Copies of this chain bind each other. A is one copy, B any other.
Amino acid sequence: MSNIRDVADAAGVSPATVSRVLNGKATSLVSEATRERVLDAAQSLGYHPSAAARALVAGRTDTIALATTNIHDPHYARALDVAQAIAEEFGYHLLLMPDADDTRLQSLLRERRADVIVRLRYPVDTADEVAAAVVSEEQVVIAVGPIDRQMPLSTPCACWDDREGIRAAVEHLAGLGHRRVAFLAGRPAQRKERYALEAAGADMTIVPVCIEPGSLDDVGRGAALARLALQREPGVTALLAQNDTFALGALHALREDGIAVPGQVSVVGYNDTFLAPYSCPPLTTVRTPLAECVSRSLRQVMEALSTQHGAVQPQSLQLHTELVVRASTACPPTT
C-alpha cells in the first residue's frame, strides 16, 4: 500500500509537492516538469490519498448519509435513487442508515462520518435532536417528510402536507358518491387516518381498519386489510390505503375474492409509486413529492457547500401532493 511519501520518493520530490500536484489548486504553483513526474509516479504506484487521513486534516468526509426506513418499498427506493445520483454528481459518497433511534444518527454526526445527512421524518415537525447535535461548520442536516403542523418548526425542512393529499382522495371518493370508506392503516391512530376523519364531510363515514405487521409482507398486509374491511364493515364501497403497497395487496385480494374493482369496490392508494400505473386495474392514488423534496433540497445544499464556505443552511421547501385518477375508482354500485 503506497502512501504519499512513496510517491514523493519515486518522483524525487517532497510529500508537500505531491500533495500540491494532486490537489492542484493553482496550477502555476508547481513547475510543469515536476508536475508530470509526480503524476507519473502516482499513476504507476496506483496511489490514492487515504480518505481517513484526508478527512482528519480537512474536517470533511465527502459523504452524504441517508437515513430512511423501508428501503425495499418502491417509494423510498426512489428517494434513494435520487440521492445516489446527486451524490455521484458532486463526487460524494452515499452512506445508508436505517432510520433507527436518534442516538445512532447523532453518533454518526459526532464521529464525523458524513458532512450531510438527509433524514426522512414522520412527521417532519417533531423536535429534532439530531439536527441539534450538529457541531462542525460543515455539517448539515436536511429533514424531509410530511408536515403535521403540530408545532412550530425550529429548523428548516423539505416537506409536503399529507392532509392535502388525503383530503383530495376523500373528496374524490365523496364526489363519486361513496358514503362509507375504509381506511387501510398499518397501525391504529396514524396521522393519515386522522386526516381522513377530518376530511370526511357529514355525509361520509371513515372506518379505520388496521393489522399489526406480524409475519406478512406489506402487500400481504394490504390484502388482509381489504378482506378484514369488507367482512367486518358492511356497506363499505371504497378502500383508502395508507400507501400503494397496501393498495396493491387490496387489489389482489379483491380480485381473488371475485369482487370487481371499481365496479363493486373502489380502491385508492397513496404515494404513486412506479407500479401504480401498471396494476390491475391501474391505481388511482396520490402523488407525494418525497423524491422531489430530496432532490431539490439536497442539490441546493450541495451547491451551497461547493461554492460558499461558511455554514450552510438548507432552505425550507413545501411542495404539493397531487391526486392521480386512474381506473381503480368509480361510482359505487347502485343497489
CB distance from A110 to the nearest CB of B (A): 4
Contact with B along A48-87 (1 / 0, CB 8 A): 1111110110000101000000011010011011001000
Pick the contact of A1: B71, B136, B217, B277 (CB < 8 A): B136
Q: Which residues of B contact A135 (CB under 8 A)?
A: 1
Instruction: Determine whether A98 belongs to the interface, using a CB cutoff of 8 Å to chain B.
Output: yes
Check A56–B50 contact: CB distance below 8 A: yes
Check A77–B71 contact: CB distance below 8 A: yes
Number of A residues with CB within 8 Å of any CB on chain B: 52
Pick the contact of A278: B80, B97, B248 (CB < 8 A): B248
Pick the contact of A74: B46, B74, B277 (CB < 8 A): B74
CB distance from A45 to the nearest CB of B (A): 10
Q: Which residues of B contact A48 (CB under 8 A)?
A: 107, 110-111
Check A255–B280 contact: CB distance below 8 A: yes
Q: Which residues of B contact A49 (CB under 8 A)?
A: 111
> What are 14 of the A-B contact pairs (CB < 8 Å)?
A48-B111, A49-B111, A51-B112, A51-B113, A52-B55, A52-B112, A56-B56, A71-B80, A74-B74, A77-B77, A88-B98, A219-B277, A249-B278, A255-B280
Q: Which residues of B contact A248 (CB under 8 A)?
A: 275, 278
- State A52–B136 Cα separation when bound (angstroms): 14
- State A279–B249 Cα separation when bound (angstroms): 9
Q: Which residues of B contact A95 (CB under 8 A)?
A: 63, 93-96
Q: Which residues of B contact A52 (CB under 8 A)?
A: 51-53, 55-56, 61, 112
